[in-house]
Amino acid sequence: MTATILFASKSERWDTYEGPLRRALDALGLTYRLGTDFPSEEVDYIVYAPNSGIDDFTPFTRLKAVLNLWAGVEAVVGNPTLKVPLARMVDFGLTQGMTEWVVGHAMRHHLGMDAHIFGQDGIWRTETPPLARDRRIGLLGLGALGIAAGTALARLGFPVTGWSRSEKSVEGITCRHGDEGLRDTLAQADILILLLPDTPATQNILNADAMARMPKGAVVINPGRGPLIDDDALIAALDSGHLGHATLDVFRTEPLPPEHPFWAHPRITVTPHIASETRPDTAAQVIAENVRRGEAGAPLLHLVDRDLGY
């Protein structure tokens, strides 16, 4: 049987994804039609980005699954017209890219690199950073990205405490869950990394009360989702000196408006949502495998729990 696969994203994405998708589908020996324009009643799978313009899935009467191109699914998971399985993107390229970005910025703050990179003022600064074993890492989020980043930091010698909503066990990471676990994780986080999804339960999880529990001078690194942080509370905590710095890659509004106070704040580093990106070659392999599984009647990879929102 031929599987009809609709690629639904911005038009420029088709040029970068068509080749990798065809190679990945061919490598699995699948019989398929792949394109950007099919009658809705003929579509079996949608390779989907929320900016595609599709917000009503009702016309897709033969649809078997929606395969999200992005790790985040907050823009589609609550769509009442989506009745079929939804799979989020978890692939090697995205995970490795996130791990490299997180480790790079954690090391930057751990070693105090900014003072030397930006402090070229003739002052001979001789402060020596502690060893990794003496710098405590807190990690909110123990999904695929959180586990990968936390494991990499633990291998460098950092004591890593990770928090998730449900109980988990990860080798090399001290795992916490629940309200008390969150408080414990915040209290020991010299560097706090946020890798949670954007759900009603996680929005503003780093609010004024949470920041007050963190050690004085602690650093926040957020490559997860913008709404995880109360922006006004963050600025207040930085202005008071309770927090030392924040490196932010994601924001409530993107691109971040030029007039936003984050840009000019001396204790905030803005990066333009570049912590990680879906790579066509590796993402195509995940999509092709899920099409293969769907056609074989096997469970799909990385299915979203609608109740949890991720």
Q: CA-to-CA distance for 55 and 41, rounded, in angstroms? A: 16
CA–CA dist 31, 267 (Å, integer): 54
The DSSP result for 129-151, as a single string, is: PPPGGGS-EEEE--SHHHHHHHH
Q: Which residues of 140-179 are buried (b: 16+ CB within 10 A; e: fewer)?
A: bbbbbbbbbbbbbbbeeebbbbbbbbeebebeebbbbbee
Q: Is 273 a catalytic residue?
A: yes
Q: Could you say which of 267, 273, 279, 292 is catalytic?
A: 273
Q: Which of these, 94, 203, 88, lies nearest to 140 by C-alpha position?
A: 203
CA distance 34 to 22: 8
Active site residue 260: no
Dihedrals φ, ψ of 87, to 5°? -110, 130
- The Cα 85–Cα 40 span in angstroms is 17
Would you state the torsion angle of the CA atoms of residues 208, 136, 219, 124, taken in this order, to the nearest 10 degrees? Answer: 150
Q: What does the alpha-carbon distance between residue 64 and residue 46 come to, in Å, rounded to a whole number? A: 9
Measured CA to CA in angstroms, residue 289 lies from 18, 24, 61, 92, 262 at distances of 16, 8, 22, 14, 41
User: Are the CB atoms for 170 and 147 separated by under 8 Å?
Assistant: yes
Strand intervals (E) in 165-285: 174-177, 191-194, 218-222, 243-248, 268-270
| Rg, C-alpha atoms of the chain | 21
H or E element, residue 11: helix 11-27
In angstroms, the CA 298 to CA 305 distance is 17
Give the catalytic positions in this structure: 225, 273
